Structure 1
């Protein structure tokens, strides 16, 4: 069975494990953590970087570089153009790099020094080719600078900037062409204006896609956090419903017994007996709620694990052979705990992109194996009921829990004999606190 990354887990336990890795979503800048790598955001960021800053710098270098190296261009035009090209390329990398690492809501602010440097370099790279009547080259650097500024603006201001720059691009070439009388005023007017529109369009498209991906990723993290809060509210509501009723009745009967102590001791004693019974009932109901909240089974945890891992951007595959129904309740609970702990370790202590879950019954032994391809230096959880504690609990029922690391692969394997039945469920129970 393969679960796609679009599947979002709907259980509180899975959400808790998921939010353990996703707690950095409130920073002003997007961090590239293990979860981003698992979700493919790093690859998308790398592609966007090459598609926007990389392509833009390549365009500037190829177009202006060829003009600077042209022997027909006089030295007075080439000398200032070379450093201006370097400044424009550097400013492009810095400003667009900042834009890719900043959150779009609210829009980030560009570095004013670099933006001013880009504007000055663009003026130099526009004026010198225009003085040589190169109507197809002069507008490239200004168009890039306008597009960079537009990426930092909200949509209404962005539209005004692009409209103003497009209109303004009609004037310089037209004026120079008319003054020179070279008969190219239409080309000198329309080509630079179209170049501004095209450059802005090609630059904003990939950045818009990156912003959408970032918003979707943050929405997925927020959904996980809300699910944890919903689960806490549900559990608090269950406790309130049970304890509220019992405590109210206990308080009333205790007050009645205190009033009857002097006038009717026998009835007061009977009321206190009922209070005692109500306390026992409240304790039993509370334990039932907590046990129902904490109890886990293998089937539920396998389903939950695939959903949680998929929600974290990890390609989760399961191979579950028939036979889970043959396990007694205690064995299903123990293997479910192993499944939960292994899933938590994958989420918190790995850079995994793929995970495999294999469960089958062979030769009277239930075997569960969970592996991933992103092991870090410290993989086993050291707090709570970690792998070491679970290994002790499995040994108490003649089972075995092992884990090993081979390069970046980490595998947890649990084996539990089927002959251990419900008569022995006291064994693992001793490990619980």
Structure 2
């Protein structure tokens, strides 16, 4: 999105500035241009170019145009167009067409072309009056050319900005889809937890009430019911642990694939050098290195402004080695998640190290292939 934003702004703003400078610059440098027109045109050109560039920047950023900038651009285009028209330059409508087109980009889509049509009709008037006043015999051309120039300019200006708007809406939709996916997963987990705990707790409550009533009348039956309650509580605890473990279980393969997608979505050029030997690693080892991969990816996204990242994984001498590095690291420091993982890997006979060299941060993990 940053690249597209820069490209859209540079294309539209660059085209606007180049057209204004080329068209009016040639007229200003012409030896036949009156001195008063040259002075007024130069000042108006500076106003128009500056205000137009600011307006396009605000349009790309999604900000309001600002009455001052619209007024500056409008006054500059009007003065420039009037000076060129008074000097009988047929390209007098270029500056007004550009400013009207840029201003229309701030309107809702349905009103943009209505404004363009009204402005095009208005631009036929000065050309018609000038042609009638000079009796040059080119009345149809003088009336139609400014209107056609405005429609063409609006088409060229609104097109790239429309593409930018569509891309931005798609980007927001993608982020919303990701948030909805997280919400759906939370609801799924909540539903699973409710299904497991709801039944156990309901039965425990009923049997506890029954045991309370039987304490005086049938102590042996009450004791049996309480034993059943204890068994149900143990089952509920075991099922809950199994649910949480299955929900939070991760593998190295999944985390590498997830890191590829996440880093690419963050505009980070990620290079994956993964040897096809992961099947030799135990399930526990896959889980531990998966946690390292997840933590390293999180640190890249949270604590750096990386442009490039590298993930290397291979098995050497019965030890699985994972190395994650990135540029653009922030100030030196040790994320708490790495310290916790280092202790877990040490317990499994492995090691986890990290180093900070200038703007580069490297996380390296090693674990025995058969680590339990």
Does TM, scored on the shorter chain, surpass 0.5? yes
Runs (5+) with no aligned partner, structure 2 = none
Q: How does 1:150-169 map to 2 (within 5 A)?
A: 150-169=104-123
| TM-score normalised by L of structure 1 | 0.81
Q: Which residue of 1 aligns with 2:342?
A: 391
Q: Offset of 1:379 from its aligned partner?
A: 6.9
Tell me if the contact between 2:255 and 2:293 (Cα under 8 Å) persists in the aligned partners.
yes
Tell me if the contact between 1:374 and 1:408 (Cα under 8 Å) persists in the aligned partners.
yes
Question: What SS does structure 1 have at the residue aligned with 2:136?
Answer: coil
1:88 aligns with 2:48: yes
Q: How does 1:41-190 map to 2 (within 5 A)?
A: 41-102=1-62, 108-135=63-90, 137-190=91-144
Counterpart-to-counterpart distance in 2, 1:359 and 1:264: 65
Runs (5+) with no aligned partner, structure 1 = 1-40, 103-107, 423-433
Q: Are residues 318 and 251 of structure 1, via their aligned partners in 2, closer, same or farther at CA, if it must alter by over 3 Å?
A: same
| TM-score normalised by L of structure 2 | 0.94
Counterpart-to-counterpart distance in 2, 1:396 and 1:167: 80
Counterpart-to-counterpart distance in 1, 2:42 and 2:128: 26
Counterpart-to-counterpart distance in 1, 2:329 and 2:174: 24
Q: Offset of 1:315 from its aligned partner?
A: 3.5
In the alignment, which of 189, 192, 198 is matched to residue 152 of structure 2? 198
Length, aligned pairs only: 372
Larger RCO: 1 or 2 (CA < 8 Å, sep 6+): 1
Q: Offset of 1:152 from its aligned partner?
A: 0.1
Deviations 1:34-70 (CA, angstroms, capped at 9, x unpaired): xxxxxxx222222222211232123222222222232
Q: Which residue of 2 aligns with 1:251?
A: 205
Q: How does 1:295-310 map to 2 (within 5 A)?
A: 295-310=249-264
Counterpart-to-counterpart distance in 2, 1:190 and 1:381: 68
Q: Offset of 1:353 from its aligned partner?
A: 3.4
Q: Offset of 1:183 from its aligned partner?
A: 1.8
Q: Offset of 1:404 from its aligned partner?
A: 2.7
Question: What SS does structure 1 have at the residue aligned with 2:323?
Answer: strand
Tell me if the contact between 1:349 and 1:379 (Cα under 8 Å) persists in the aligned partners.
no
Question: What SS does structure 2 have at the residue aligned with 1:206?
Answer: helix
Counterpart-to-counterpart distance in 2, 1:82 and 1:323: 70
Q: Offset of 1:288 from its aligned partner?
A: 0.9
Q: Which residue of 1 aligns with 2:235?
A: 281
Question: What SS does structure 2 have at the residue aligned with 1:90?
Answer: helix
Tell me if the contact between 2:356 and 2:362 (Cα under 8 Å) persists in the aligned partners.
yes
Q: CA RMSD in A?
A: 1.9
Q: Offset of 1:328 from its aligned partner?
A: 2.2
